[in-house]
Amino acid sequence: MDVSPSSDPADPMHSDCPGRDLFELITSRWPLLILWSLRGGPQRFYEVRNAVEGISERVLSEVLKKLCRHGLITRHVQPSVPPKVSYALTGLGEGLLGVMDGLTGWIGRELENVQAAKRRYDAQEGMA
């Protein structure tokens, strides 16, 4: 198996890959969970916050901005007092959720095996 860097400029293994920031965004802690929370339709900020347990409002705000900037979600401000802001998936975000469906399916199928591997590792390392 060849593991040398490819000549493909979209290869995230290259430091100057234009897609690397997107790769880093979607593989960080919160973005996929936020996108997953929007799969049922538009949500207000507090609804996303309540759906994604453990996220702070500051971090949620930062990640929502990044997801908007990358075109994965939209931000809609309803002109009212106070303004009502909601977030929704774009076509790009929905496409990414299709990939996530595969990942969550794999996790569901393999979780027991992964848990068993962790127990074996911890026992060998004296971490039990």
pLDDT digits (tens, 9 = 90+) for 55-91: 999 999 999 999 999 999 999 999 998 889 999 999 9
Residue 5 per-residue DSSP state = P
**Secondary structure element (H or E) that encloses residue 44, with its range:** strand 43-44
Q: Of how many residues is the chain composed?
A: 128
Q: Where are the domains of the chain?
A: 20-125
Closest CA to 70 of 101, 39, 26, 16: 26
> pLDDT, tens digit, for every residue of 7-19?
676 787 888 888 8
Classify domain 20-125 at the CATH class level. Answer: mainly alpha
pLDDT above 90: percentage of residues in the chain: 73
Q: Specify the pTM.
A: 0.82
57 with 49: CB under 8 angstroms? yes
Q: Which two tokens stand for residue 75?
A: 């931000």
The pLDDT assigned to 9 comes to: 64
Q: Is the pLDDT of residue 3 over 90?
A: no
Strand partners, 87: 43, 75
Measured in degrees and rounded to the nearest 5, phi and psi for residue 87 equal -125, 145
Q: Quick check: 106 pLDDT over 60?
A: yes
